[in-house]
Amino acid sequence: MRSATSATVAAFAAAVGPPEAGAVAAVGGRTQWGAGGRVSADAREVHAPAGIVAVEAADMTVRVGAGTTVAELDATLAEVGQTVALPAWDGATVGGVLAVGHSGLRRLGWGPVRDVLLEAVVVSADGRVVKAGGPTVKNVSGYDLCRLLVGSLGTLAFVAEVVLRTRPLPQSERWLAGDADAFALVERLHRPAAVLWDGTTTWVLLDGHPADVAAEAELAGLAEADGPPDLPGPHRWSLRPSELPALGAGAGPGPGRFLAEVGVGVVHAERPPPSRPIDDHVVELHRRIKAVFDPDGRLNPGRDPLAAAPARAG
């Protein structure tokens, strides 16, 4: 297995350079390039190393360059019957998905993006190569820096190489849809991969062993569907899962057309969520963390993780 000080990682660190090299922006597939604000125009662009370093199928881990696309990673892992719980947006890179931190529609069954990252080799704001975490599940003593990096939009460090937790590729999966109580289905079904609801129709994704999927499909009592519906808009709301049923009432300045991830609380909507002030102590905490990791503000200047987080309505 290639070490964290490999030539490609070292070359990436050299491209980032020391603080006197000025502002710099890490570029992936640009699928979520506007998240958290525009990067300053004077920032130099750098690209993380790409390529799959090692697949450890027996340990269910994979070491991969952050510039590798999720689609390429999934194709390689499929050869050993595995996958990763990262959304495979068209052209999205592993590092970009982790930096944004948004999970895919399978979060209910597969868990959040932050749980996928076991180890991260990053380039710090002063151009050093630093490792956080380790290639095993129980690898953390002290603060888990990997979780801090996920969703930070590359404002704390640039991810160069990661070790990810893999999972078995489902032997079978089926989308179902129909008129059903989405909230009752979440309770009745055993670990559905996704339950979606637009106020009228419910979609369910089941995956796993064919016999188990067939049994759960019969229990759900819904018709076969080609897949999930198109997302109604670019905006993401964040609600407590218990607050989702109220969306169907259509009261107040709601999200308009929406698709809710039942059991998760993420709502994809055509309207932006209402602005809501962020607690001062949260803003101060982010400021202090940024000052420790990037005191000169040179990493992805213009980006703000607080602006990219799904706004909680209500």
Residues 240 and 212 in one domain: yes
Interval 179-206 mean pLDDT: 96
Residue 298 has pLDDT above 70, yes or no: yes
Residues 21 and 112 in one domain: yes
Is 1 inside a domain boundary? no
- Taking the C-alpha atoms of residue 161 and residue 184, their distance in angstroms, rounded to an integer, is 41
- Taking the C-alpha atoms of residue 64 and residue 46, their distance in angstroms, rounded to an integer, is 18
Residues 29 and 89 in one domain: yes
Is 302 inside a domain boundary? no
Query: Among 114, 144, 168, where does a domain finish?
Result: 168
Contacts of 79 (CB under 8 A, 6+ apart): none
3-state secondary structure of 220: helix
pLDDT at 6: 83
Residues 110 and 237 in one domain: no
Interval 101-114 mean pLDDT: 95
Domain of 62, in residue numbers: 7-168
DSSP class of residue 93 equals B
Is 207 inside a domain boundary? yes
pLDDT at 314: 43
pLDDT for 45-73, tens place per residue? 999 999 999 999 999 999 999 999 999 99
CATH of the domain at 31: 3.30.465.10
Cα 214 from chain centroid?
Answer: 29
Residues 161 and 186 in one domain: no
Residues 160 and 179 in one domain: no
pLDDT at 251: 53
Residues 181 and 138 in one domain: no
Structure tokens at 107: 């979060």
- Of the pLDDT bands very low, low, confident and very high (cuts 50, 70, 90), residue 254 is confident
Structure tokens at 222: 């819904």
Write out the DSSP string of 123-140: E-TTS-EEEEE-SSSS--
pLDDT at 35: 87
Least confident of 58-62, 114-118, 133-137, 267-271: 133-137
Query: Among 147, 168, 189, where does a domain finish?
Result: 168
User: Nearest 5°: CA angle at 137, between 95 and 75?
Assistant: 45
Contact criterion met (CB below 8 Å) for 186 and 107: no
Query: Among 168, 186, 216, where does a domain finish?
Result: 168
Residues 149 and 34 in one domain: yes
Contact criterion met (CB below 8 Å) for 46 and 106: no
- Taking the C-alpha atoms of residue 204 and residue 200, their distance in angstroms, rounded to an integer, is 13
Question: How large a percentage of the chain has pLDDT more than 70?
Answer: 92
Residues 181 and 39 in one domain: no
Residues 22 and 158 in one domain: yes
Is 283 inside a domain boundary? no
Residues 147 and 25 in one domain: yes
What is this structure's pTM?
0.91
pLDDT at 138: 58
Q: How many domains does the chain have?
A: 2
- Positions of E strands within the chain: 24-26, 44-46, 52-56, 61-65, 82-83, 117-123, 129-133, 158-165, 167-168, 172-178, 194-197, 202-208, 223-225, 235-238, 258-261, 266-269, 311-312
Residues 34 and 160 in one domain: yes
Residue at 148: amino acid letter: L
Burial per residue of 209-223, b for 16 or more beta-carbon CB atoms within 10 angstroms, e otherwise: eeeebeebbeebebe
